[in-house]
Amino acid sequence: MTEKRTILVCSCEDTMPIDAAAIGRGCKGAAIETARYLCRDQLDRFRAIAAADTPLTVACTQEAPLFAEVGGDRTAVSFANVRETGGWSADAAKAGPKMAALLAAAAEPLPEIPFVTMNSEGVILVYGRDEQALEAATLLKEHLDVTVLLTRPETVSPQRVTEFPVVRGTAKSARGYLGAFELVIDNYAAPAPSSRDRLVFGAPRNGAVSRCDLILDISGNPALFPAADLRDGYLRADPGDPAAVLRAVLKARDMVGTFDKPRYIKFTDDLCAHSRSKIVGCRRCLDLCPTGAITPAGNHVAIDPQICAGCGQCAAACPTGAAAYALPPADALMRKLRTMLSAYREAGGVHAVVLLHDETHGVELIDALARHGEGLPANVLPVAVNEITQVGLEAIAAAFAYGATGLRFLLRAKARHDVTGLNQTLALADPILSGLGFGPGRAGKIETDDPDALGAQLRSIEPADGAPRPASFAPVGGKRDVMRLALRELQRAAPAPVDVIPLPAGAPFGTLNINVAGCTLCLSCVSACPTGALSDDPERPTLRFAEDACVQCGLCASTCPEKVISLMPQLDFRAATASARVVKQEEPFACIRCSKPFGVRSSVERVLAKLEGKHWMFKDSAQRLDVIKMCDDCRVAVMTESDFDPYAAPRPSPRTTDDYLRERERLKAEHENKS
């Protein structure tokens, strides 16, 4: 820790031991103050320390609101939970290095998070099937502007007083988000005012459009949106569960006004490798997004921040860094890992295992394990992130480069949403870690809702050696940059460094297999390459390839007219410092009129060989062949000066259907005679 900082550690009425010496070793330069009952009897002590200008870290999150209130306007205060994560554990006596790591990481600053604004004026569509929808609307009518859409209104009685519109129809499709929903409704019809014992509707029509700010869906039909629980403003409940319906109604009632949500993804469209010239290359993010927030937009994709729910799978999978997570950015997470693992090692900790978890599931499970079980092992360092699926290869590589011996992702026993992106990241990390001598299975998942099962799985992790030469690099820059840096440092610190590691298909690193003999140097691949991995030379026909820039999007292979390019995923650590290699280079053809180089000599000569004496336009005229040997400017000039007519040569007679039929009969007869 480079800044002078005060760290207040409370034993919480002596329910956990405090190893002040270990904390001091890990948090170098910090003044360590211990207490027994800081939030009550010793609150004046906190007040006195907080009055100073020194940055302050308090080892308590339970009473953080109290300390924030007592501290007044002081902003340089951070809080760390060392009780449930370390002190309340069967290994509490050995938890000093872990506490040092957690306290050091708590002081790591995080960048500001941008927000997007959504506005709701309280216009809600209650989408139901029977009287239950009317009951929900009745509860909401005093707070929101309600319309009811019924799918099966056959037995619904009319309202005595029309307090809100009731219509019939079935939602065919829906789009939008909180404050801007649009539904297309089929079988739409309004009820007759004269409806007596039940609602009677007029003639139905399809394609009606409804716009609203909120949707309460208690229809029992399939959800209107993918990953429906992640769509802001769309509240869906099982009509057979009255308690769930009531919770949705109460939630809808308060969704009026202006709301801010994080802009989870920072997107740079000119880095996107989605497509070129209407040929699709990379679609990793499109395949992984659970909410449908990502759509094609020409050569790149577009991410709707109002729909994005922040799972981060797009950022974890993006090979170019066009999509980067912002809560926090990849480099900020890596800096936190660096601080934590460095402090743990300095405090005397060994065999560090990083446990990545989210706030909702992970924190509750760790808390339950500490309060009712044996707590976390002393060598397990918990790191909370917004979403588990946001973590990419760069963070995994950095953790092991900084000295971790294992890494686990804590997931629910039954994931609420697809974790394909995380599985792909682990499938990519495993061969890299194995290839560098760390061993297989060093990064993996723990899928459980049982705190005791979590503890048992963590304690079953065999102690292993980490990097013999742990890295200390400071990650700075965009996602692709810090990923390259983390992988280079991982290789440098590895137990058994190698230069090249084969990777599975779909990996964002690799080289190209190019059939040089079949390449005509048309350079279509150069114009298609979105990262500059393929380049040319303005002076002569040349194709160069820089492996470090290749993201294996496949656009070059799809664009190549000769189909001589194929992808070969691998991680070559030498590529970072290697210059672009020449794949193929030829002499240009010199214009026979002005001597200006143009085209490729071998290609021009091949064209001449195929046309001379064989094509009807070039059988009897050398002048016609000479035109092909000229650059664009000279070709136009010669054709203009000589009144050149490309169709003046004798043309073959046109072939009719009868000609083809006669030819077929002739060949058939020749074949029969030979037989």
Residue 606 placed within a domain: no
Domain that holds residue 279: 263-325
* Pair 233, 342 in one domain: no
- Output the pLDDT for position 652: 66
Distance from C-alpha of 560 to C-alpha of 514, rounded to nearest angstrom: 10
> How many C-beta atoms surround the C-beta of residue 474 within 10 A?
10
Question: What pLDDT band is residue 22 in, cutting at 50, 70 and 90?
Answer: very high
Q: What is the pLDDT of residue 620?
A: 54
Residue 608 falls inside a structural domain: no
Which of 237, 260, 283 corresponds to the end of one domain? 260
**Average of per-residue pLDDT across 316-337:** 94
233 in the same domain as 156: yes
User: Distances in Å between the alpha carbon of 577 and those of 162, 353, 497, 552?
Assistant: 75, 32, 16, 19
Structural domains of the chain, count: 4
d(CA 125, CA 318): 37
Judge residue 546's burial from the number of C-beta atoms within 10 Å of its C-beta, 0-12 exposed, 13-18 middle, 19 or more buried: middle
Share above pLDDT 90 across residues of the chain, in percent, rounded to a whole number:
77
The helix/strand/coil state of 217 is strand
Q: What is the CATH number of the domain that holds 294?
A: 3.30.70.20
What pLDDT does residue 478 have?
85
Of 24-38, 451-465, 620-634, least confident by mean pLDDT is: 620-634
Distance of alpha carbon 390 from alpha carbon 587, whole angstroms: 49
Q: Do 78 and 216 have their domain in common?
A: no
- In a domain, residue 314? The reply is yes
Is 500 within the bounds of a domain?
A: no
Q: Averaged over 635-656, what is the pLDDT?
A: 72
Asked which of 302, 325, 348 is the last residue of a domain, the reply is 325
Provide the greatest CA pair distance for the chain. 115
Instruction: Dump the DSSP string for 53-94.
Output: SS-EEES-STTHHHHHHHHTT---EEE---IIIIISSTTGGG
pLDDT confidence of residue 672 = 83
- Same domain? For 316 and 336 the reply is no
pLDDT (mean) for 377-383: 97
- Residues 334-362 have a mean pLDDT of 96
Q: What is the DSSP string of 363-399?
A: HHHHHHHHHHS----TTEEEEEES-GGG--HHHHHHH
Q: Is the pLDDT at 1 greater than 60, yes or no?
A: no
The pLDDT tens digits for 563-595 are 999 999 999 999 999 999 999 999 888 898 898
The string of DSSP letters for 569-604 reads: EEEEGGGGTPPPEEEEE-PEEEPTTT--EEEEHHHH
Note the pLDDT of residue 409. Answer: 98
Are 315 and 391 in contact, with CB atoms under 8 Å apart? no
What is the tens place of the pLDDT at every residue in 152-192?
Answer: 888 898 988 889 999 999 999 999 999 999 999 999 999 99
The pLDDT of residue 280 is 95
Note whether 346 and 28 are within 8 A (CB).
yes
Note the pLDDT of residue 593.
87
476 shares its domain with 396: yes
Which residues, listed in sequence order, are joined to residue 325 by a DSSP beta bridge?
A: 265
Instruction: Give the pLDDT confidence score for residue 422 in this predicted structure.
Output: 97
Give tens-digit pLDDT for 294-307. Answer: 999 999 999 999 99
**pLDDT range class, residue 111, cuts 50, 70, 90:** confident
pLDDT at 483: 94
- Tell me whether residue 407 is in a domain: yes
Residue 60 pLDDT exceeds 70: yes
67 and 153 co-located in one domain:
no
pLDDT band at 648; cut points 50, 70, 90: low
- In the sheet with 500-502, reading across from the earlier edge strand, the strands are 500-502, 565-572, 510-514
Whole-number Cα distances in Å, 672 to 287, 388, 660, 663, 664 = 57, 73, 18, 14, 12
Model confidence at 544: pLDDT above 90: yes
Average pLDDT for the chain:
92
Looking at the fold, whether 302 and 319 belong to one and the same domain comes out as: yes
Kind and range of the H or E element at 568? Answer: strand 565-572
Residue 645 lies in a domain: no
Q: Sorting pLDDT into bands at 50, 70 and 90, what band is 256?
A: very high
Give residue 598's pLDDT.
84
Averaged over 491-496, what is the pLDDT? 96
Task: Tell me: do 403 and 542 sit in the same domain.
Answer: no
Q: Which residues pair with 384 in a beta bridge?
A: 357
Domain limit, last residue, from 559, 585, 611: 585
pLDDT for position 389: 96
H or E element, residue 631: none
- The DSSP bridge pattern shows strands 5-10 and 30-35 to be parallel
Give the confidence band of 265 by pLDDT, cuts at 50, 70, 90: very high
Q: Which residues of 59-92 are buried (b: 16+ CB within 10 A; e: fewer)?
A: bbbebbeebeeebeeeeebbbbbbbbbbbbbebb
> Are residues 515 and 568 located together in one domain of the fold?
yes
- Let me know: does 243 contact 134? Beta carbons within 8 Å: no
Q: What is the pLDDT of residue 550?
A: 96
Domain of 555, CATH number, reads 3.30.70.3270
The percentage of the chain sitting over the pLDDT mark of 70, rounded to a whole number, equals 96
Residue 341 shares a structural domain with residue 321: no
The pLDDT confidence band at residue 3, using thresholds 50, 70 and 90, is low
Say if 48 falls within a structural domain.
yes
> Which residue in 210, 225, 325 sits closest to 265, CA to CA?
325
Closest CA to 446 of 357, 334, 317, 352: 357
CA atoms within 13 A on the CB side of 32: 21
- pLDDT surpassing 60 at residue 531: yes
Question: Is position 379 within any domain?
Answer: yes
pTM of the model: 0.87
Whole-number Å distance between alpha carbons of 636 and 646? 12
Q: How confident is the model at residue 32 (pLDDT cuts 50, 70, 90)?
A: very high
Residues 439 and 411 in one domain: yes
Residue 251 has pLDDT above 70, yes or no: yes
CB atoms under 10 Å from CB of 23, counted, come to 27
Checking if the pLDDT of 361 tops 60, the result is yes
Kindly state the average pLDDT of the residues 619-625: 65
| The amino acid at 364 | E
pLDDT for 159: 87
User: Do residues 335 and 433 both lie within one domain?
Assistant: yes
Structural tokens at position 205: 């029509």
